[in-house]
């Protein structure tokens, strides 16, 4: 968004770097100390739904456990297409 400052490098994952949230280092720390079979954690994501075909969708997207609670819809938790568009963020990119 041109209104706001943009990162000068690592434009894709800048917010995970050490000068920001340290999320990248934290992930490496967990992966280095905890065996893969013990890395079990479950996050419920309450939002507008998911789009599982996108390559950046969560690796372990639990589509069968997910659900839509919107009245009149099927239980499928995918984002719905309305008027040829997907609406799944605070304000769609221009």
Partner 1 sequence: MILAGGMVGPNEGRYDQNSGEVGAIPFAEIVPLRIGDEVFLIQGRLDAFVQAMYRAIDLQCDVISISMGGAPTRKMAEAINLAYEKGIVVVAAAGNNFNVPLDIFVPEEVVYPSRFDRVITAVGATANQYPYDFDAQDDVKSFPNGEQMQGNSGPASVMKTAIAAYTPNVPWATVSLEETDPKYSFSRRGGGTSSATPQIAAAAALYIVYYRNQLIAEGYNDTWKQAESVRQALFSSADSKKIPESKKYYGNGVLQAKKALSKFIKVTDDQKAERAKVSDSLIGEFIALYTNLF
Using CB under 8 A as the binding rule, the residues of this chain from 32 to 71 that contact partner 1 are 33-34, 36, 38-51, 53-63, 65-71
Q: Whole-number minimum distance, CB 28 to partner 1, in Å?
A: 8
Phi, psi for 43 (deg, rounded to 5): -120, 125
74 binds partner 1 (CB under 8 A): no
29 binds partner 1 (CB under 8 A): yes
Q: Whole-number minimum distance, CB 79 to partner 1, in Å?
A: 7
Q: Which of 47, 44, 52 has the alpha carbon at shortest distance from 90? A: 47
Q: Whole-number minimum distance, CB 13 to partner 1, in Å?
A: 7
Q: How far apart are CA 2 and CA 36, in angstroms?
A: 40
Q: Which helix (H) or strand (E) holds 85?
A: strand 85-86
């Amino acid at each position: 968004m041109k209104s706001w400052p943009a990162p000068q490098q690592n434009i894709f994952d800048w917010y995970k770097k050490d000068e920001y949230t340290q999320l990248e280092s934290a992930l490496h720390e967990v992966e280095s100390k905890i065996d893969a079979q013990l890395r079990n954690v479950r996050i419920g994501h309450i939002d507008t739904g998911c789009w599982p075909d996108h390559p950046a969708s969560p690796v372990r997207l639990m589509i069968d456990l997910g659900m839509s609670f919107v009245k009149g819809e099927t239980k499928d938790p995918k984002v719905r297409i309305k008027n040829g568009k997907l609406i799944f963020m605070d304000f769609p990119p221009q």
